[in-house]
Chain A
Amino acid sequence: MAANGKLTGKQRLGWTVLTVVVLVYALFPVAAILATSFKTQADLGNASFLPTNWTWDNYRMILVGDAQELFLTAFRNSIGITLIATFIAVVLATLCAYSIARLNFPGKRIILGTALAVSIFPVISVVTPLFNLWRNIGLYDTWLGLIIPYLSLTLPISIWTLAAFFRQIPWDLEQAAQVDGATQWQAFRRAIVPLAMPGVFTTAIIAFFIAWNDFVYGISLTSTEAARPVPAALAFFTGASQFEEPTGAISAAAIIVTIPVVVLVLLFQRQIVSGLTQGAVKG
């Protein structure tokens, strides 16, 4: 009713209040950690939301100061490992989903079923044997040692999302293009790739989120700065000296690693919503 025609004053007020409530609910903890990241050491115990003296010290500390090594190395690890894992997962999942949607072969259900089963495996049940195996074959505390397990997190949802997406693509277009004289590759590239790209892209974003978010593999399969990603590094961060609480520095680091994700959410919220709901509800 409200969607068409003008709003009465009461409705307008109702919607404004509701929107504000939702916004506060969704953003308040983020605002809290943002405020904390600008507090001085003395301010951390002031028991109020906002700092009394705003300072960039915490950011300086993790970007150019004492904690630089610790944070920047972890940041680089996180970005590198997550991007590589996302890329591999999306390529493999695209191939897999394409063959499931397009080709007729026995075992399709097995693949989809396995993907579902893998996504319900508790990470912690998998991590002990991996920890053991990685130590034996030298993958412990390496990039590859995290990339491989990350694939088990990102592949299942990528396959399901893409399979659901590819099922809706009108594949006849490809044949029509071929009949019109295009080669098989041309037909595929011109007719199908443009239709498939949005789905692949959405999947990539979701896969990136998941790998970026990982904590259990990060703390279990790494021990040094060689491969430790940001979430794990945050947990082991102990502050510049043993007398200083690392609260401010952790908050600043938390804000910095949140920025890429929030930017992605802002830019692609429409695609993410459809990707998430399609993949999951269909699954």
Chain B
Amino acid sequence: MTTAPETSRRQRREAAASSNGKAADRKNGAGAKRTNRAKSEARLGWLIAGPAFFIMLAVTAYPIAQAIYDSMFSFRLTSPDDRSFVFLQNYMTILSDTEVFWSALGVTVLVTVVTVAVELVLGFALALVMHKALKRIRGPLRTAILVPYGIITVVSAFAWYYMFDINSGFVNNWFGWVPGIDSDLDWFANFGTAITVIMASEIWKTTPFIALLLLAGLAQVPDELVEAAKVDGASWRQQMTRVILPNMKAAIMVAVLFRALDAFRIFDNVFIMTNGAANTEVLSLLAYRTSIGRLEIGLGSAVSVILFVCVLLICFIAIKFFKVDLASGTDAKGGK
């Protein structure tokens, strides 16, 4: 059956595999040296995985620790000698400031909730279109959907800003027939309209991300299940709610979590469009303006730490709520 070279090859392979074989003996050492090998493998593993690990720690863990430390000092960069330990005073100052802090937190939560909700619906629709699209147009369609994701957030912010801007925009002109839109409507002068444009730009820019994740989730739903449901006479809505959505749970969870974390850190669009005017200040902008803008390092660090804690809280709630352990079982819920 087997040809000569193949036999010899197999023999060699078997020899290599057997721990008693001379080849294996010479190469790996026998059982007694196992622990040594495990040790050297661990050393090699850390040697080549280490640099990435330590850079990540150095650029994030250290500054976070420093921020927590700084947040307990009254410390302005303009008068560095005036540094004094005030413990939680900065946090008190921030948390008791309803005008600035609580308003910023409220806006941030509003942006997060609205954008994630809208993006989930819109992203699912886009994912369905991509999933069902004919082979011929699938490529161009995916490319077009990816374009907003590839656009720099600052560029997208400027694009939306100029569209709605009362001087350079055409929106008032085009949509004058819509009730509430007059030719002299200044979108960025009122909270309601300004935040709507900010959220619209955020939704436009990041929906592709959700759409792609949901597309991966859709691809995981076994076709047989859908077919079976169809044969059983399930309506489209029943197929969705009973078969497709339950099977996409992991993908939906990952999409919601990652987008929520991202939306909570919104900065670029707000900075470009209103820079916090008309009460559109968000937490990131508040932290930036306090520390980098006004050089109040102590107070700014406290805002940063609060923002960080909020993000941790979102993670914690999401993981509890969806009962998914993010760091393990990566294969179990993985999609191909």
Contacts and interface: CB of A to CB of B under 8 A. Distances in A.
Contact of A281 (B55, B147, B213, B288): B213
Contacts, number: 328
Interface string A92-108: 11011011100111111
Band of interface residues on B:
35 or more
Given A48-B173, A115-B56, A124 B288 contact: yes
B254 to A, nearest CB: 6
A100 B261 contact: no
B59 A148 contact: yes
A173 to B, nearest CB: 13
B191 interface: no
A29 B156 contact: yes
Contact of B142 (A118, A251, A261, A269): A269
B85 interface: no
B59 A216 contact: no
Label chain A's interface by main secondary structure.
helix
B64 A125 contact: yes
Interface stretch (B112-120, B133-141, B231-239): B133-141
B192 interface: no
Contact of A22 (B49, B77, B145): B145
A100 B304 contact: no
Band of interface residues on A:
35 or more
Label chain B's interface by main secondary structure.
helix
B67 A129 contact: yes
B145 A179 contact: no
Interface string B258-285: 1001001101100110000000000110
A114 interface: yes
B57 interface: yes
Interface in B100-126: 126
B159 A128 contact: no
B51 A95 contact: yes
B52 A265 contact: no
A31 to B, nearest CB: 9
Those 6 A-B pairs whose CB atoms lie nearest each other, nearest first = A105-B45, A277-B216, A129-B66, A152-B59, A129-B63, A105-B42
Interface of A: 2-3, 7, 15, 18-19, 22-23, 25-27, 29-30, 32-33, 36, 44-45, 47-49, 92-93, 95-96, 98-100, 103-109, 111-118, 120-133, 148-149, 151-152, 155-156, 159, 164, 167, 175-176, 179-180, 209, 212-213, 215-216, 219-220, 230-231, 234-235, 245, 247, 250-251, 254, 257-258, 261-262, 264-266, 269-270, 272-273, 276-278, 280-283
23 contacts: A3-B132, A22-B145, A23-B144, A26-B145, A27-B147, A99-B49, A105-B46, A118-B56, A124-B284, A128-B70, A128-B292, A133-B63, A152-B56, A215-B154, A230-B152, A231-B268, A257-B152, A257-B155, A277-B212, A277-B335, A280-B209, A280-B255, A281-B251
